Amino acid sequence: MCYAIPAKLIAVNGQIGVLDYFGEQRKVLLDETENYQVGDYVFAQGGIVVSRLEEAEALSILDTWKDIFFELKRQDQELAQIHTQNAAPNILAILQKANHGQELNREDAQILLQLKHPHELTMLYEVANAVRQKVHGNASCVHGIIEFSNYCKNSCHYCGIRCEREIPRYRMQPEEIITLAHDAMERYGFKAFVLQSGEDEWYDDEKLVHIVETIKQMGALVFLSIGVRSVNTYQKLYHAGARAALMRFETANSETFAKLRPQTSFRERLDLLQALKKIGYIIATGFIVGFPGETVTDIIENLLLTRSLQPDMYSFGPFIPASDTPLASHIMPTKDDILKTIAVARLMDRDSNILVTTALETLDPQAKREGLLAGANSLMINLTPLKYREQYAIYDNRACKLELKDAIDETTKLLFSLGRAPTDLSVNI
């Protein structure tokens, strides 16, 4: 699977470049450690150029894509049409406003998040998908996620790898992580890796720098999801080559945060996200939908806080209980609760990139497709070896149980069925 299309760099202005994909242009960040030139052929992931390739190799890959590229684009445009008009006048007015690019207010968002009628939900999702298509075209990205440790020092009430829980624990050795990333690049063409773990301090700065530096030198985007570390540690990892960070704030309700995340700090988490952005990281952040006592107002506050952090990607999913945790008996939100949140996020922040999470797929096997048709435009494929994957039990009955080749085939088939192409997603420049 080479689920990335090379592009020609046609303009450079400092750290900002412009890529051309068959006449379609996208802005990207250029790594300051590399000397990219106009005319270079490059791969980009997550809005940043990660490697260059020889012209002959690039043209060979592009030749295999040139026919299917425009067919995918046509298919996406067809699926992004708005067919449903069966909604109350006030709802039609809000959706028309959003479709025309006008900003939604809190009242608008509240009305949309409270929709229940199937016709009105269908129209909400169609409008969100149409906005996604207008802003991003059929661009999509697929990152490989490596869950390299299920040790965690925290006691979060909702998490299945909380430190008090008695489960089999594992840590992948640094060379094991590096080899896995190398094989995924060489065999399947992955160009971006999310390195995710519990907050496990066994991986000190020296180990993390070695992992990041080695994978970066392979020509891949390194995306960190390792929780709260010092700004100094993240600065070292940026210097080593990490360029993106995923860290949810979990909930904008500070009281709920304090109850569910004892001995952790809401303010520290937000301050770290802002510090990471200043360092230069591409930021993905968001929240969990469905915590106890959550209201529509809470979801709106979550969306507004996410937007205020100016992330490059939204990441949110449903609360799913884990056994032997304080919230083991709490009910899950519905699939439409999450799809509505995706759609309203798209309409409130048209430029955002929105990830379909594994947790959504766990709610319903069809939810990955439905999320992409409700305004989302990014996916992850789990690269974690099966012998570890079940032990990364952050919630019960997780999806992602397929062998890697099968998961890749399934994802590629899904994206192609929706007309999505692996041109890169621009970041907020």
pLDDT of 428 reads 57
C-alpha atoms less than 13 angstroms from C-alpha of 109 in its C-beta half-sphere: 23
Domain that holds residue 35: 7-78
Residue 1: C-alpha distances to residues 137, 179, 232 (Å): 22, 18, 36
Decide if 27 contacts 16 (C-beta within 8 A). yes
pLDDT of 429 reads 56
pLDDT exceeds 60 at position 1: no
Shared domain check, 266 and 202: yes
Whether residue 405 is contained in a domain is answered as yes
pLDDT of 365 reads 85
Name the token pair of 415. Answer: 């994206």
Percent of the chain with pLDDT over 70: 98
Shared domain check, 150 and 122: no
Decide if 240 contacts 216 (C-beta within 8 A). yes
Whether residue 322 is contained in a domain is answered as yes
CA distance 34 to 223: 18
Per the structure, the count of domains in the chain is 3
pLDDT exceeds 80 at position 427: no
Shared domain check, 127 and 63: no
Whether residue 425 is contained in a domain is answered as no
Whether residue 429 is contained in a domain is answered as no
pLDDT exceeds 90 at position 253: yes
Using one digit for the tens of pLDDT, what is the confidence trace for 279-325? 999 999 999 999 999 999 999 999 999 999 999 999 999 999 999 99
Using one digit for the tens of pLDDT, what is the confidence trace for 366-399? 899 999 999 999 999 999 999 999 999 999 988 8
192-197 β-sheet, strand order: 353-354, 313-314, 282-285, 244-246, 221-225, 192-197, 141-149, 378-382
Length of the chain: 429
Res. 221 pLDDT band, cuts 50 70 90: very high
Q: Whose CA is closest to 372, among 333, 304, 421?
A: 421
Residue 170 DSSP SS3: coil
Shared domain check, 405 and 295: yes
pLDDT exceeds 70 at position 3: no
CA distance 332 to 129: 25
Shared domain check, 237 and 360: yes
Helix axes 296-308, 106-113, angle to 10 degrees: 130
- Stated pTM of the model: 0.95
